[in-house]
Structure 1
Amino acid sequence: MAVQRQRPPRGLPFVLSVSGAAAVLLVLAGCASTRGLAPEGRAIEADSLAASRSLGTPALSDAAFPARDWWTTLGDPQLDALIDEALRDSPSLAVADARVRQASAQAGLADAARRPTLGASARESLVRLPETLAPEPLGGDVNASTVLMLDFKWSPDLWGGKRAKYEAAVGQARAAQVDAQAARLTLSSNVARGYIALAQAYEMLDVAEREQARASHLRDLAGQRVEAGLDNQLQLRQSESTIATARQQAQSAQQQIEALRNALAALLGKGPDRGLDITRPHLLDAPSPNVPGVLPSELLGHRADVVAARWRVEAASRGIDASKAAFKPSINLNALVGLASSGLSELFSGDALLGFGGPAISLPIFDGGALRSQLAKSDADYDLAVASYNQALVGALHEVTDAVQAARSLDAQIASATQARDAAQAALQLADARYRAGLGTQLDVLSAQRPLLQLEQQLASLRAQRYVATVDLDRALGGGVAPVGPEAASESHSSPDLAGAPTP
């Protein structure tokens, strides 16, 4: 007797196949693993960087951080106008601004990648098959087809990988925005430094011209003494050498003035003729070197380079999350709906409906180590960002300390040089009084004038260095910018938003 085999229900093989596939995927899920991969970088705590003894008690105070227009403390309206012009017109800022737009666009691309897409298309086709391939009625006839399609695609962000990529891009965009602020601070500092050098060059020109006048007078006296038989040619030749040296110093100072005017014009984004309109600087005394007593911790929120480095650490951290999410299964939803017919008259009939779609699941199993290498790279990127942040923090505190110590030392040197200059001035006055009383000669007066001119030249150099120390300190303290760090941004926005980023 034949035994009839009972056939299983039609839906059971499909259920078994799906269950089996899912089981296989779960078994093989361990093939692509993140085991053993982790970043090694550790950010330095700002308060662990002791600086109070180096800065000294007199420097630490309740002073505020520099204002946004910190250069106004130098007291020269022309400098104020030049920096304003540079910040408005300089093309050197265009690079930083373009990088901001580039990073913002990249963040927009990352945001778009996690959203569903819908596209539409229309196509009209004509097909003619040769009779040698297909008999009538297909062969030899021209067949037309019209297709209207809607294509929907979406890959749900199950593990937050796409959001992490978006947040990483936002972090990079914010870092670029802070870099643009730093570029403006650098530009204003360079204008101030060039202007200070211009002031020093003018003072050097004054001293050289006075020395040339003194040496010329000394030569005239030496010539008269030689003609009278009271002296030989030695004094005359020495005075002529002094005149030539002073003339060369004056020429060098004039060339320096012209070069600095050209440099300032370039910083302003203008041609060299703009520099000819820059008149002689008139700087006031540099302010005392006082820094806020909340250093070093508060320095983190005022230094643009430190804040930008923190944003890059935050972006690198999100990059690690995105790389880890790639190890997990993903689902893609795809739906294609449209109308297709051989003619426009039948295109909108019920028989013309065309549809395709469904979910697709994928899981990395064997990829040749690509995912682990990508995660290792993300870990290394994070370590690099942390190291750059630590370096920026240490460098920032180092710059503040250098500027404070330089200003303090220069103040002492200026006081000593001023005391020496006053003594030389008194000696010149005494020599002049003796000459007028008939107790001395003009040679005594001219000899007493030389050390005075040398000390005035030294004072001009020290004052210029002291102005530079003021600029360096204001720049080291952040230059009055207020960049938004990751912590402040996370408090003000529940999710990353470029619209809330600081405007450079």
Structure 2
Amino acid sequence: MTPSRTKFRSMSVALATALLAACASTGGLQPAAEPHPIDDHVVTRSLSGAPLSPAEFPAQDWWRSLGDPQLDALIAEALQGSPTLAAADARVRKAQAQAGLADAERKPTIGASGQYVVAQLPSGLAGDEIGGQLMHNAVLMLDFKWPLDVWGGKRADYMAALGQAHAGEIEAQAARLTLAANVARSYVALAQAFDGLDVANREAARSESLLGLSRQRVKAGIDSQLSVRNAEVSIATAKAQAEVAQQQIDSLRNTIAALLGASPDRGLAIERPRLLQAPAPGLPSVLPSELLGHRPDVVAARWRVEAAAQGIKSAKAKFKPSIDLSALVGLAATGFSGLFDNDALLGFGGPAISLPIFEGGRLRQNLASHDADYDLAVAGYDQTVVDGLHQVVDAVQAIRALDAQAASLEQARAAAASAYDLAGKRYHAGLANQLDVLAVQKPLLQIEQQLVGVHAQRYAAAIDLDQALGGGLQPTTPQSSDSIGSTSSTSPATTP
């Protein structure tokens, strides 16, 4: 080997060593968070005494348990025509298109082009042979490119976009669940307003009777104007309560129409609710772990963690050499007449390798950003799990308390109704006057007013529990929860 060749080889090795030493490094960069195992959240004592069953997740049409066909029809209408759901579906299509774009980046491309060029070069630049002459050139080309995904970075980009698309699909399901729950809650409030209007009207009728008796007694000289004024106050108060209830009815009809995506006049056609029963609470015995597979917000949060993990893989792949294959094949000639001659063929191609060396910290900052995205996704997932479990416990505890309140109020109403019935019998027997009957009726109406509120809250708590348990949905989850904490995972449920 000649000295010059030895020297050149030594310089090449030194240069290669220097280039490799100068390559950007991922050292010291990694996510700071890991998802908490869901079974670490203990709810045994909070849910003690609640009825458990292996199959107590709600049905998809959970609202049918309320027993009102009009409510069933309203929710079906809302799920068909709400602009909120149309927007959610559009977001899903956009996310799917983004995943398709990421997938297309991994695949080879072929493009064709044709060009006809007229050119004239100055003789001082091109010489007398071609200078100063008008040249006609025709070119037909095929361009082939294929970015080889040696390190899996482009596949990770695709998997990240696919994870975001899955999250979007599940969030669209969550939007449907939320819409159905909001329609049901508004419907329950509408039922409460109608019941409240009945009680207010009965109180107004009672007060009107009391006023008439008071005026008769004043006229007979056996009572003062004080009883008349008290009766007038009761009438005005009852009428105000009736007006409030009617305003609530009008407002809630309008609210339901808006949830349906319909005009306010649609609300005027909604008849008085006929809710039959508030379902007893039923809890699955597999809480809390199975909550992962039923609550759409928890599942969507898992997909976002998975997508963020794939984003880290993509960012790490950018630190490594990239290899691309490219080729250009075509025909070129002076004018169209020689375009298909044997000597018109041209082409070149081959592999190209590029290696990041000095990037001004761009690659490291990009990786740090993806690490932070992962930590944010993990925090969002953990918080969603916590919120979901608290919503389940809150609903169960509310149902317990409201059932106890309703039982006590039912006992009180039974006693008040018995007293009212007894007072009526005494009046008809001539042992009491009508004032006694009206006085005994007042606590009965007050108890019934309280029962109206408790029953409405009990319906709402049943709706809250159904929603907290996922509303009967079974969204597609990542294949294994073990992949959530690992940035090396590439196994979501749907693969390319």
**TM range, smaller chain:** over 0.9
Secondary structure in 2 matching 1:151: strand
CA–CA separation in structure 1 for the residues paired with 2:127 and 2:353: 44
Query: Does 1:356 find its partner at 2:348?
Result: yes
Q: Deviations over 1:143-188 (max 9, x none)?
A: 2110001111122111111111111111111011110110000000
Contact 2:480–2:492, Cα closer than 8 Å, also in 1? no
Deviation of the 1:135 alpha carbon: 7.4
Q: Aligned partner of 1:415: which letter?
A: A
1:310 counterpart residue number: 302
Counterparts of 1:119-268 in structure 2 under 5 Å? 119-129=111-121, 138=130, 141-268=133-260
Query: Does 2:344 align with 1:334?
Result: no
Could you tell me which amino acid in structure 2 is paired with residue 198 of structure 1?
L
1:222 and 1:231 in contact (8 A); partners too: yes
Kept in 1, the 8 Å contact 2:479–2:491? The answer is: no
Q: Quote the offset at 1:359 in angstroms.
A: 2.1
- The CA deviation at 1:198 is 0.3
Q: TM-score, normalised by structure 1?
A: 0.92
Task: Work out whether 1:296 is the aligned partner of 2:288.
Answer: yes
| Other-structure match for 2:393 | 401
Summarize the Cα distance change of 1:266–1:222 in structure 2 as closer, same or farther, 3 Å threshold: same
Write the deviation string for residues 445-498 of structure 1: whole angstroms up to 9, x where unpaired: 11111111111010000000000000000000000011010017999xx97686
Task: Look up the match of 1:388.
Answer: 380
Instruction: After superposing the two structures, state which structure 1 stretch, 30-39 or 311-320, moved more.
Output: 30-39
Q: What is the identity, as a one-letter code, of the residue corresponding to 1:434? A: R
Q: CA deviation at 1:64?
A: 2.1
Alignment pair present for 1:39 and 2:31: yes
Amino acid at match of 2:403: D
Distance across 1 between alignment mates of 2:180 and 2:205: 38
More divergent stretch after superposition (126-135 vs 187-196) = 126-135
Q: State TM-score, norm by structure 2.
A: 0.94
Matched residues in 2 for 1:22 and 1:336: separation? 32
SS class of match (1:54)? coil
Distance 1:214 1:486, change over 3 A: same
Q: Secondary structure at the match of 2:368?
A: helix
Deviations 1:405-433 (A, max 9, x none): 00011000000001001111011111111
Distance 2:11 2:189 in 1: 79
Equivalenced residue count is 489
Residue 93 of structure 1 pairs with residue 108 of structure 2: no
Give the equivalent residue in structure 1 for 2:435. 443
Q: Distance in 2 between matches of 1:38 and 1:274?
A: 55
Q: Any unmatched runs of 5+ in structure 1?
A: 1-5
Q: Deviations over 1:16-37 (max 9, x none)?
A: 67x9657634543343111111
Matched, 1:73 2:48: no
The whole-number CA distance in structure 2 between the counterparts of 1:214 and 1:156 is: 86
Could you tell me how far 1:120 is from its partner in structure 2? 0.5
The letter of the residue matching 1:29 is L
Question: After superposition, what is the alpha-carbon deviation per residue over 1:286-340, rounded to whole angstroms, capped at 9, x for unaligned?
Answer: 1111201110011110010000011011111111111111111111222111111
Deviates more, 1:422-431 or 1:61-70: 61-70
Determine the C-alpha separation between the residues in 1 that align with 2:350 and 2:249. Answer: 75
CA 1:378–1:246 in 2, change beyond 3 Å: closer, same or farther?
A: same
Taking structure 1 as reference, are residues 26 and 107 closer, same or farther at Cα in structure 2, changes over 3 Å only? farther
Q: Which residue of 2 is the match for residue 372 of structure 1? A: 364
C-alpha change, 1:112 and 1:134, in structure 2 (3 Å) is closer
- Do the aligned residues in 2 keep the contact of 1:311 with 1:485 (CA within 8 Å)? yes
Q: How does 1:395-434 map to 2 (within 5 A)?
A: 395-434=387-426
Q: Is the 8 A contact 1:317 1:382 kept in 2?
A: yes
SS of match in other structure, 2:136: strand
The percentage of aligned residue pairs carrying the same residue is 60
Q: RMSD of aligned C-alpha atoms?
A: 2.4
Moved more, 65-74 or 284-293: 284-293
Paired letter, 1:77: P
Q: 1:20/1:60 Cα in 2 relative to 1: closer, same or farther (>3 Å)? A: farther
Q: Once structures 1 and 2 are overlaid, which stretch shifts more, 124-133 or 48-57?
A: 124-133
Q: How many angstroms does 1:131 deviate by? A: 7.2
Instruction: Tell whether the 8 Å contact from 1:99 to 1:176 is kept in structure 2 after alignment.
Output: yes
Cα distance change of structure 1 residues 7 and 389 upon mapping to structure 2, 3 Å threshold: closer
Counterpart of 1:24 in structure 2 is 15
In structure 2, stretches of 5+ residues that fail to align are: 484-489
CA drift of 1:128 comes to 3.5
> Match of 2:140, SS?
strand
Cα deviation, residue 114, structure 1: 1.1
- AA matched with 2:410: T
Q: Give me the whole-angstrom Cα distance separating, in 1, the residues matched to 2:363 and 2:54.
A: 52
Deviation at 1:222, TM superposition (A): 0.7
Report if aligned partners of 1:59, 1:404 keep a CA contact under 8 Å in 2: no
- Could you tell me which residue of structure 2 aligns to residue 347 of structure 1? 339
Q: Conserved in 1, the CA contact under 8 Å of 2:306 and 2:492?
A: no
**What SS is found at the alignment partner of 2:306?**
helix
Segment drifting more, 201-210 vs 27-36? 27-36
Counterparts in 2 of 1:281 and 1:171: CA distance versus 1, 3 Å: same
Equivalent-residue separation in structure 2 for 1:113 and 1:26 (angstroms): 32
* Cα 1:496–1:487 shift into 2, 3 Å: closer
Give the Cα–Cα distance (whole angstroms) in 1 for the partners of residues 422 and 18 of structure 2. 102
